[in-house]
Amino acid sequence: MRAGRSWPLAAALGVVLAFAAPAAAHDYGMGSSWLTEDHPGWYWPSTSSQTSNFEMVGSIERTKPLSTYRNSDLAFWGRLAYAGHYEGFQIIDAGNPRKPKQVADFACPGSQHDVSVWGGLLFVSVETPRTSPDCDSTAQPSGTPGFEGIRIFDVSNPRSPVLLKGVPTDCGSHTHTLVPDPRHRRVLLYVASYTASELAEHPVYGNECKRWEDEAQTIPAHNKISVVEVPLRDPMSASVVSEPRFPQKPYRTGWTGCHDITVFMELEMAA
């Protein structure tokens, strides 16, 4: 996918890569057992998953009782916590940490649902090809391209979220980092993704997942991140505006990518 315009990166004058193995492949056909197998150690306390100086003071029940249910990431705005999970996301009133209350549990499947929030807008990462950005979409068969990228929700009424738009990005979005740019009345989303599988360019959405630039498979193709601009007054016009390229160390043959991007606003640098 080619960015429509070239914008300066408001908060990234320098980039240092952080490499990590992916939590999950973005193609359901690539190791699909991670979606269906029972992994009990992930879901209840163990000696290796506790920190001695942390105390849990409150909790919210999982949406589904199955041990295959997967929570993802958290974002916070005021007293509200936004909790991504592979079937959608929860909005939780955490004003009283000892008695948190579920405000909404919004169904909108697609992994892995990294989340960020700014005011009344919620941004959700999708890295599994879907038939469309819509919440009633289904997962594509293995090797079939589909929508992957960022979903944008209006959560100004937290009890009734509304999907506004999907912004496709190459190889989807495993995680993303929100950078506010109030001077230009926008936010920028720095999108990290992997070449977990080879996917042709989608005829409608235009995103693809390309591993190699050459037939000899010597030049990695996905040495980049995507930057999505979201105008706060017109989030429906959100789009990919830049695809900065830089070398990324492969962690398997043909697999390149960056797991997370951290932004230091005062230094205007990302790592």
Q: What is the pLDDT of residues 48-99, one digit of tens each?
A: 556 777 778 888 877 777 666 688 899 999 999 999 998 899 999 999 999 9
Residues paired with residue 238 on neighbouring β-strands, in sequence order:
none
Query: Which of 47-56, 112-121, 219-228 comes out lowest in average pLDDT?
Result: 47-56
Question: What confidence tier does 196 reach under pLDDT thresholds 50, 70, 90?
Answer: confident
Residue 43 has pLDDT above 70, yes or no: no
């926008």: which residue's tokens?
186
pLDDT of 7: 36
Buried b (16+ CB within 10 A) or exposed e, 231-246: ebeebeebebbbbeee
Q: 158 or 270, which is more confident? A: 158
Question: What confidence tier does 9 reach under pLDDT thresholds 50, 70, 90?
Answer: very low
Q: 248 or 11, which is more confident? A: 248
Q: What Cα–Cα distance (Å) separates residue 225 from each residue in 16, 42, 57, 127, 261? A: 12, 29, 38, 14, 10
Q: What Cα–Cα distance (Å) separates residue 32 from each residue in 24, 139, 205? A: 9, 12, 24
